[in-house]
Amino acid sequence: MSIEVVPTNAGLGAQIKRVDLAKPMDDELFAEIEATLDEHGVIVLRDQEITPEQQVAFSARFGEVAVNHNAKDFGIDGSPEIYLISNITKEGRLIGTPRAGSEWHTDMSYAKVPARATMLHAIEVPELDGLSLGDTEFANTAAAWDALPPALQEKLAGLTGTFDFRGRKRGRPISEETIAQYPPVEHPIVRTHPRTGRKGLYVMRNDCTGIVGMNVEEAQLLIDVLAEHIIRPEFVYRHRWCVGDVVVWDNCTAQHKAMIDYDLPQRRLMWRTTVKGSVPF
Ligand code: OGA
Ligand code: MN
């Protein structure tokens, strides 16, 4: 039996039906899932009941699983690859990062080798009298590129951005060691997808701090214009979470942003895994 793919009808993303991640998965089935991620940028698998080990094993099908620098404080015993995104406290201490990704971004663009894909598995979803909160928005960077006028595409094609770990406000102090691990790097602001060859915009506020060969004002203006273009409503899908959702996004094709429209006692808990990628070109 093969999978059923239901596109979201929004700017990107598709739901994959008839997959149980708790069952063994042969290469053929995984290839269909991977092809769906390549095509749609975001995939959603509902009603999954899996252990941390099963999530890590599924993540590893996409590539080497990274251990996040936050996982030593916000991890799960026995599964260092799982990093908790959560606003829950236990004995007065947060168990995870509470406001991860509240501005538009793509994961680890500040690294020489950014993340290929990120997976979130919803364990607890905040709600108000049945209305779920804490949605995640996604934007299609490839569709945003396609929609640019040819003259602007030509101007952007050879440009290189500077990406800096320190460009983004973070929820808590970052250790000197982590900062030293991520010196500023350069990436093309028009990326070619390593698997599909499709071009997409790779630029966003905060993480992208400048453009090589442009003065600060000129660069910031271009970054702002492109960042706003990428999140035009026609390129966006807003995911409303249900407990048991497993969502995987491609960090080349998609940017994302967390909606912070809830607070304790409304609880949110996600298990996050990250798959290593390749040097952007
Ligand atoms: C992330 C992230 C968004 C969310 O985990 O990288 O940006 O909605 N999360 O939790
Ligand atoms: Mn993120």
**Residues spanned by the domain of 143:** 4-276
pLDDT of residue 78: 84
| Residue 274 in this model has a pLDDT that exceeds 80 | yes
100 is a domain residue: yes
Residues 142, 143, 148, 151, CA torsion sign:
positive
pTM: 0.96
Q: What number does the ligand 1 atom closest to the CA of 105 have?
A: 7
Residue whose Cα lies nearest atom 7 of ligand 1: it is 101
- The answer as to whether 44 is a domain residue is yes
CA 96–ligand 1 middle distance (angstroms): 12
Tens digit of each residue's pLDDT (9 = 90 or more) over 193-223: 999 999 999 999 999 999 999 999 999 999 9
CA distance 99 to 85: 8
Give the number of C-alpha atoms closer than 13 A to the C-alpha of residue 31, restricted to the C-beta side: 3
Contacts of 220 (CB under 8 A, 6+ apart): none
CATH number at residue 208: 3.60.130.10
CB 262 within 8 A of CB 268: yes
Per the prediction, the chain carries an average pLDDT of: 95
DSSP code string of 179-229: HHH---EEEESEEEPTTT--EEE---TTTEEEETTS-HHHHHHHHHHHHHH
Report the domain count for the chain. 1
Ligand with the closest atom to the CA of 97 = 1
Q: How far apart are CA 256 and CA 135, in angstroms?
A: 11
Measured by CA distance, the residue closest to atom 4 of ligand 1 is: 258
Strand partners, 16: 5
CA of 269, nearest ligand number: 1
Q: What is the largest CA-CA distance in the chain?
A: 57
Do residues 86 and 93 touch, judged by C-beta distance below 8 A?
Answer: no
Residue 281 within any structural domain of the chain: no
pLDDT, position 1: 64
Q: Dihedral of the CA atoms 197, 168, 242, 274 (nearest 10)?
A: 50
Per-residue pLDDT, 72:
79
- Nearest atom (ligand 1) to Cα of 135: 8
The pLDDT tens digits for 106-145 are 999 999 999 999 999 999 999 999 999 999 999 999 999 9
245-259 pLDDT per residue, tens:
999 999 999 999 999
Catalytic-role residue among 198, 239, 256, 268? 256
Asked whether residue 165 is assigned to any structural domain, the reply reads: yes
Distance CA 163, CA 183 (A): 9
Residue 252 lies in a domain: yes
Tokens read off for 5: 């793919």
Whether the CB-CB separation of 145 and 153 falls below 8 Å is answered with yes
Consecutive H or E run containing 128: strand 127-128
